[in-house]
């Protein structure tokens, strides 16, 4: 993936490709996580980061936690890779969550590292 | 927010740290009361069983700390960084100690003194607004000294412990309870390699200095303290922060936009979640260190031969 980070590419192609290459990062999370992106190019992805390491479109499993954001915000935050910006987005509710927040914080590390590897 | 104070005037440093720490601890006490346990202990509780409630674990920690310090009726106790007075009230009410606490946060001191007044403990529980570097007590004044969850805000532990040794009686005991971090992480910080997340944590607390365990022990030993006992209680802090986080989450409607701003509430949510991960993933550690004053050539006191007297195995009301 070159150029602007694209969430759809990230979850449809890049992360599924990278998961088997870096399984130890994903397995530290050891949970099913939902990604719900709104707006153009949005969608819902289920990341099973337990034993299977699978990314699927749609809510295919019950997530332990879910990240909810507008696609544009989500892409900008991941591309920026700034923890401070992520915190500010969460405080301002541009980045919403439901479920187990500690797991989402662990996921942040994975998404940041995978998006860097993919870009 | 920079924390490199090389060359900084001490009065400026004290003023900065007082303001920075107060920005966190002088939030409304009812906010902290909403997610801490009933004792309002803003530090690691102690779980004899994972099924312990936060209230039970708070009591366990206070009992454990009192046992380690061998607190006795009439002891004069100094609590450095006394918070909302959880250990002072415990020592005064359960054991009959006289307690003096210091905190740089005015609201905390006012809270402690107000509660002491209400409970008829004025004179037995006294909180002073004072920076640790400004401690000025007579020689050999205190029977016991405790500092719980406060060394994280102290930039120079050598300076702190150098002030503690003279004011502790020769046969006194001091207990240091605080967070540390693995040496490799600390070493990177000392080399100027910091992480954005690490800096954000310091900002959240106003000011923070997470040292490695050996640095704390070195500061103790170099300032005439002998380490009698060390207990790693990291797992206990993970369980504590998990419970704080759950309470914060459960009380969102009561807190957010009412007691504190919605942004401040969400900031606390993130950091509380982050702390529990920090303990779970060995980025942050927590210890209790018991020590006494030592001078080579002194006749050693007849200290207990085993740790039996400082074990809390089951919670009892």
Whether B111 maps to a domain, the answer reads yes
pLDDT at A113: 67
- DSSP assignment, residue B92? I
DSSP character at residue B211? B
Place of tokens 């100690």: B97
CATH number of residue A42's parent domain = 3.30.1050.10
Which domain CATH number covers B255? Answer: 3.40.50.150
Instruction: Determine whether the interchain pair A83/B200 forms a contact, defined as Cβ–Cβ distance below 8 Å.
Output: yes
Beta bridge partners of residue A45, listed in sequence order:
A35, A57
> Chain A within 8 Å of B246 (Cβ-Cβ)?
no
Element (H, E) at B288: strand B285-293
pLDDT for A105: 87
Helix (H, G, I), strand (E, B) or coil at B183: helix
B 219-238 residues inside an 8 A Cβ radius of A:
none
Q: Do the domain assignments include residue A1?
A: no
Give the model's pLDDT for residue A118: 59
Q: How many domains does one find in chain A?
A: 1
Q: How far apart are CA B230 and CA B89, in angstroms?
A: 25
Number of independent structural domains in chain B: 1
Confidence band, pLDDT 50/70/90 cuts, at residue A117: low
Residue B190 belongs to some domain of the structure: yes
Task: Determine, yes or no, domain membership for A2.
Answer: no
Tally A–B CB contacts below 8 A: 36
CA distance B258 to B245: 18
What is d(CA A66, CA A38) in angstroms, rounded to the nearest whole number? 13
Task: Tell me the C-alpha distance between A89 and B92, whole Å.
Answer: 45
Could you give the C-alpha distances from B70 to B63, B67, B199, B311, in angstroms and in order? 10, 5, 38, 12
* Residue B196 C-alpha, separation from nearest chain A C-alpha, in angstroms: 6
Does a structural domain hold residue B173? yes
Phi, psi of B36, rounded to the nearest 5 degrees? -80, 175
Per-residue pLDDT, B47: 97
Domain assignment of residue B117, yes or no: yes
Which of B197, B263, B276 is nearest residue A102 as measured by Cβ atoms? B276
User: pLDDT of A64-108, one tens digit each?
Assistant: 999 999 999 999 988 888 888 988 999 999 999 999 999 988 887
- Identify the sign of the CA torsion A99, A103, A108, A114: negative
Report which DSSP code applies to B133.
G
Find out whether B88 and B145 touch, Cβ atoms under 8 Å.
no
Q: Can you tell me the distance from the alpha carbon of B124 to that of B146, in angstroms, rounded to the nearest whole number?
A: 16
Please, which pLDDT band fits residue A2 given cuts at 50, 70 and 90? Answer: very low
Position B314 in a domain:
no
Please name the residues between 262 and 301 in chain B that touch chain A, using a CB distance below 8 Å.
Answer: 263, 266-267, 269-270, 273-274, 276-277, 281
Residue A33 lies in a domain: yes
Helices (H) and strands (E) in chain B, counts: 12, 7
Contacts of B269 in chain A (CB under 8 A): 101
Range of the domain at B166: 12-293
DSSP state letter for A61: S
The per-residue pLDDT string of chain B (317 residues; one tens digit each, 9 = 90 and over) reads 344 455 578 899 898 888 888 888 888 999 999 999 999 999 999 999 999 999 999 999 999 999 999 999 999 999 999 999 999 999 999 999 999 999 999 999 999 999 999 999 999 999 999 999 999 999 999 999 999 999 999 999 999 999 999 999 999 999 999 999 999 999 999 999 888 888 888 888 777 889 999 999 999 999 999 999 999 999 999 999 999 999 999 999 999 999 999 999 999 999 999 999 999 999 999 999 999 999 999 999 999 999 999 989 865 54
Contact list in A for residue B266 (CB cut-off 8 A) is 90-91, 93
The token pair that represents B173 in the structure block: 């005991």
Q: State the CB neighbour count (10 A cutoff) for residue B136.
A: 7
| Residue B307 is assigned to a structural domain of this protein | no
**Residue B7 pLDDT:** 57
Does residue B241 form part of some domain? yes
What is the span of the domain harbouring residue A17?
7-118
At residue B103's C-alpha, the angle toward residues B5 and B4, to 5°, is: 10
Return the pLDDT at B67. Answer: 97
Rounded Cα distance, A36 and A99, in Å: 13
> What pLDDT digit, counting tens, does each position of A9-54 carry?
989 998 898 888 888 878 888 999 999 999 988 999 999 999 889 9
For residue A91, list chain B residues with Cβ-Cβ distance below 8 A: 263, 266-267, 270
Q: Residue A1: which pLDDT band, with cuts at 50, 70 and 90?
A: very low
Instruction: Please indicate whether, in this complex, the C-beta atoms of B249 and A101 are within 8 angstroms of each other.
Output: yes
Nearest CB neighbour to B269, from listed A28, A101, A106: A101
Between B196, B245, B269, which is nearest A83 by CB? B196
């Amino acid at each position: 993936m070159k150029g602007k980070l694209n969430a759809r590419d990230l979850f449809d192609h890049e992360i599924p490709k990278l998961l088997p290459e870096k399984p130890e990062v994903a397995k530290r999370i050891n949970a099913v996580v939902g990604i719900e992106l709104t707006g153009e190019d949005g969608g819902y992805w289920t990341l099973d980061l337990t034993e299977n390491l699978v990314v699927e479109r749609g809510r295919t499993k019950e997530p332990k936690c879910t990240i909810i954001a507008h696609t544009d915000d989500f892409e900008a935050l991941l591309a920026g890779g700034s923890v401070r910006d992520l915190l500010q987005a969460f405080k301002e509710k541009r980045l919403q969550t439901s479920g187990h927040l500690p797991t989402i914080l662990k996921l942040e590390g994975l998404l940041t590292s995978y998006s860097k590897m993919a870009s | 927010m920079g924390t490199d104070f090389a060359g900084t005037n001490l009065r400026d440093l004290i003023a900065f740290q007082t303001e920075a720490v107060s920005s966190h601890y002088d939030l409304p006490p009812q906010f902290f009361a909403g997610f801490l346990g009933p004792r309002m202990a803003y530090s690691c509780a102690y779980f004899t069983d994972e099924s312990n409630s936060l209230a039970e674990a708070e009591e366990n920690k206070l009992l454990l700390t009192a046992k380690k310090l061998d607190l006795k009726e009439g002891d004069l106790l100094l609590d450095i960084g006394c918070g909302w007075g959880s250990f002072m009230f415990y020592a005064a009410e359960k054991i009959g100690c006289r307690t003096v606490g210091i905190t740089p946060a005015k609201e905390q001191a006012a809270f402690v003194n107000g509660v002491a007044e209400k409970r008829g403990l004025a004179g037995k529980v006294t909180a002073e607004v004072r920076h640790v570097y400004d401690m000025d007590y007579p020689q050999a004044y205190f029977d016991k000294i405790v500092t719980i969850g406060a060394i994280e805000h102290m930039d120079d532990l050598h300076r702190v412990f150098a002030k503690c040794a003279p004011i502790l009686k020769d046969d006194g005991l001091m207990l240091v309870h605080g967070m540390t971090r693995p040496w490799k992480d600390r070493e990177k910080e000392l080399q100027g390699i910091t992480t954005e997340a690490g800096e954000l944590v310091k900002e959240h607390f106003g000011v923070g200095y997470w040292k490695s365990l050996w640095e704390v022990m070195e500061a103790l030993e170099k300032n005439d303290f002998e380490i009698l006992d060390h207990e790693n209680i990291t797992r206990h802090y993970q369980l504590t922060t998990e419970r704080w986080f759950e309470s914060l989450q459960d009380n969102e409607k009561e807190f957010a936009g009412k007691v504190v701003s919605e942004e401040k509430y969400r900031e606390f949510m993130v950091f509380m979640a982050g702390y529990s991960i920090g303990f779970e993933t060995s980025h942050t550690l927590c210890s209790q260190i018991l020590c006494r004053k030592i001078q080579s050539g002194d006749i050693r006191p007849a200290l207990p031969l085993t740790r039996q007297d400082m074990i809390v195995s089951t919670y009892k009301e």
